[in-house]
Amino acid sequence: MPEPLLPTEFAELEPFAADWCLATETERFAKRISSSMDEMQAFYDACFPRAEDAIAYCDKLPLDDMPDDALHLLQLVYSLVMVSFPVEAWRQPHIPDSGAAYLDLVIEPVP
Amino acid sequence: MKVEKPPEGSWTAHYPELGTEPMSYEDSISPEFHDLEREAIFKRSWLNVGRVEQLPRKGSYFTKELAVANTSVVVVRDTDGEIRAFHNICRHRGNKLVWTDFPREETSGNCRQFVCKYHGWKYELDGSCSFVQQEQEFFDLDKADYGLVPVHCDVWAGFVFVNLDRATPQPLREFLGPMVTAIEDYPFGELTERFYYRAEVGANWKLFMDAFQEFYHAPVLHAKQSPIAARPEVQAAGFEGLHYQLDGPHRLVTTYGGRGWELPPEMLKPMEVVTRSGLFGPWDAPDLDGLPDGVNPANKQPWGLDSFQVWPNFVILIWERGWYLTYHYWPTAFNSHLFEGNLYFVPPKTARERVAQEMAAVTFKEYALQDGNTLEATQTMLESRVITEFPLNDQEILCRHLHKVAADWVDDYRRDHAGV
């Protein structure tokens, strides 16, 4: 059994942590584009009901000095933001009519 | 929403020099016109290349690739704290002076002096040449004659501008004019949380500027983005800007914005409700008191945003929810350009504020990718020249103005160089 990535209060999200706790937008966007809608729907269905709890949990901690498990939880919320567009709006991983267009995020806040 | 237009009956008629005729887009598909734009516009106009926050200390520098002008510049804060710019070329045998690993990529950092990788010539931060390897081997060489080639450089409201004109250009503030300088007291320097996006886009630079300077397209192209945008009454109403203004080569559109916090949840994406954020930014705005009069200059309500289109290729977009973004469009050919988008927020104090910013940034990208790909579709068909005249409506006044200003600058250049 590997070390859990998330705080114990969020143990039921652990099955998604290895795939979706990603530090950069580039990784999160790539994961979204390479995932099926079924995979993203399963992640969304599990995480969305706990999103408010997760934000509230991280909110109590200093943003510039978060313990690793809280940081992973925050990254999971970022990934939830990322998949919310395919799940809630597009019904497909890609942005409609975006074709080969890309937009790289080369500088982003940490965390 | 009924918007009051100028007494002439339309925004466009208020500026009669624009005319109302159908427009040609030959200026966006002609390699010859693009070559003229490089000389007439990009080698003569002030160009924004960054912000002072990118040069936090003495010795901080960054490079900017200006393919449109066939050069690279290095911008540096010298030992007196002054910001200077130089062509990024060693005086010895022309090597690019400042770069890391990949000569064509931009770089940044901090240094005490610039040292050429090729033969070790050194330059102080004020550009003077301070060391020549084996100086005694040269012939009558005086280091004082071999300083870096300076580029006109000035700072306005924390934005660093360069001008590649060899002659003395119009002063920066005068160039920016009263409409733009009226926002200089906006707290740009406090909004340092940055998301920097870039992409190569297969369309003329002016076509992408057009896409972000009219919102006539918004209810159609972005219809599926949110439940409210898809509603039939929203679709039927279309879009009307609250205020349009021109000042010299610069342009402004003011419009209303989404007020997610006033909407019932069924009209929003569930993630917008959880994060209290969306396209128009975090719903819980930071307290930026005392915005300058130049923001929302016509004092229209409900105010959502101002988009200042600063000639030639720079946009400052100020949102009502206390954040701003910039766009830059750097031509790489007549039918392609490098697009840069920078989103700036007040640094978040809490995870909740940070998540709201993430939602705004991710939403921005969803929209921008739709816009960017549409442009390639426009470029390829304009190049067919099957149609050569296109009707522009009153909500597209800023597109009309951009193309007129480009033509005017090219005409001026041609006149100045006639018979040369």
User: A65 — contact with chain B (CB < 8 Å)?
Assistant: no
A92 vs B: CB within 8 A: no
Query: How confident is the model at residue B161, as a pLDDT?
Result: 98
Specify whether B254 is located in the same domain as B110: no
* Phi and psi, residue B247, nearest 5°: -145, 100
Q: Mind listing the pLDDT tens digit for each residue in A9-32?
A: 999 999 999 999 999 999 999 999
User: Is B162 in the same domain as B185?
Assistant: no
**Residue B62 sits in a domain of what CATH number?**
2.102.10.10
Which of A77, A80, A98 faces B370 most closely, judged by CB atoms? A98
Which of B217, B369, B374 should one mutate to test binding to chain A, selecting the residue with the greatest count of A CBs within 10 A? B369
Going from the C-alpha of A87 to that of each of A8, A45, B18, B142, the distances in angstroms are 27, 10, 45, 67
Predicted pLDDT of residue B232: 67
**Bond from prior residue into A111 cis (ω within 30 degrees of 0):** yes
Q: Are residues B308 and B380 in the same domain?
A: yes
Residue A97 pLDDT grade (very low, low, confident, very high; cuts 50, 70, 90) = confident
> What pLDDT, on a 0 to 100 scale, did the predictor assign at position B370?
83
B310 lies in some domain: yes
Name every chain B residue with its beta carbon within 8 A of the beta carbon of A61: 351
Last residue of some domain: B135, B168, B201?
Answer: B168
Residue B240, in any domain of the structure: yes
In angstroms, the first-to-last Cα distance of chain A is: 27
Same domain, B241 and B356: yes
Residues 6+ apart with CB under 8 A from B232: none
Choosing from B168, B185, B200, the residue where a domain stops is B168
| Position B257 in a domain | yes
Cis, bond preceding B292 (omega within 30 deg of 0): no
A101 touching B (Cβ < 8 Å): yes
Residue B18 inside a domain? The answer is yes
The reply to whether B352 and B316 lie within a common domain is yes
Could you tell me if B259 and B354 lie in one domain? Answer: yes
Residues B227 and B105 in one domain: no
Structural domain range at position B283: 11-40+177-416
Asked if the Cβ–Cβ distance from B354 to A96 is below 8 Å, we say no
Supply the pLDDT for residue B75: 98
Do B292 and B183 meet the contact criterion of CB atoms below 8 Å apart? yes
**B147, B293: one domain:** no
Distance from CA of B226 to the nearest CA of A (A): 7
pLDDT in tens, B218-272: 767 666 666 666 666 666 667 789 999 999 999 999 998 777 888 888 888 999 9
pLDDT of residue B229: 64
Last residue of a domain, one of B151, B168, B185: B168
Per DSSP bridges, beta strands B83-87 and B150-156 are: antiparallel
Q: Which residues of B touch A102 (CB under 8 A)?
A: 199, 369
Per-residue pLDDT of chain B (420 residues; tens, 9 = 90+): 678 899 999 999 999 999 999 999 999 999 999 999 999 999 999 999 999 999 999 999 999 999 999 999 999 999 999 999 999 999 999 999 999 999 999 999 999 999 999 999 999 999 999 999 999 999 999 999 999 999 999 999 999 999 999 999 999 999 999 999 999 999 999 999 999 999 999 999 999 999 888 888 776 766 666 666 666 666 666 778 999 999 999 999 999 877 788 888 888 899 999 999 999 999 999 999 889 999 999 999 889 999 999 999 999 999 999 999 999 999 999 999 999 999 999 999 999 999 999 999 999 999 898 887 788 889 999 999 999 999 999 999 999 999 999 999 999 999 998 865
Shared domain for B56 and B159, answered yes or no, is yes
B269 with B377, same domain?
yes
Q: For the residues of B225-279, what is the DSSP string, one character each? A: GSTTTTSHHHHHH----SEEEEETTEEEEEE----GGGS-GGGS-HHHHHHT--T
How would you list the strands of the sheet with B243-247, edge to edge? Answer: A104-107, B193-201, B336-345, B323-333, B314-319, B305-310, B250-255, B243-247
B242 domain residue, yes or no: yes
Q: Is the same domain home to B147 and B224? A: no
pLDDT recorded at residue A101: 86
Residue B4 lies in a domain: no
Chain B residues whose CB is inside 8 A of the A40 CB are none
Q: Do A97 and B370 touch (CB under 8 A)?
A: yes
User: In chain B, how many domains are there?
Assistant: 2
Interface check B352 vs A, CB under 8 A? yes
Residue B193 at interface with chain A, using a CB cutoff of 8 Å: yes
Q: What is the CATH number of the domain that holds B403?
A: 3.90.380.10
β-strand partners of B85: B75, B151
Q: Which two tokens mark A42?
A: 């399963």
B412 to chain A nearest CA, in Å? Answer: 36
DSSP state, residue B54: G
User: For every residue of A46-85, which 3-state class applies, written as one string?
Assistant: HHHHHHHHHHHHHHCCCCCCCCHHHHHHHHHHHHHHHHHH
For residue A88, name the pLDDT band (cuts at 50, 70, 90).
very high
Q: Are strands B243-247 and B83-87 parallel, antiparallel or unpaired?
A: unpaired
Is the CB of A55 inside 8 Å of chain B's CB atoms? yes
- How far off is chain A from B323, nearest CA to CA, in Å? 15
Res A100 pLDDT > 90: no
* B33 shares its domain with B59: no
Domain ranges of chain A: 15-90
Chain A residues close to B276, C-beta within 8 Å: none
Contact B270 A108 (CB under 8 A): no
B3, part of any domain: no
Q: Which pLDDT score, from 0 to 100, does residue B227 have?
A: 66
pLDDT value of position B166: 93
pLDDT digits (tens, 9 = 90+) for A46-79: 999 999 999 999 999 999 999 999 999 999 999 9
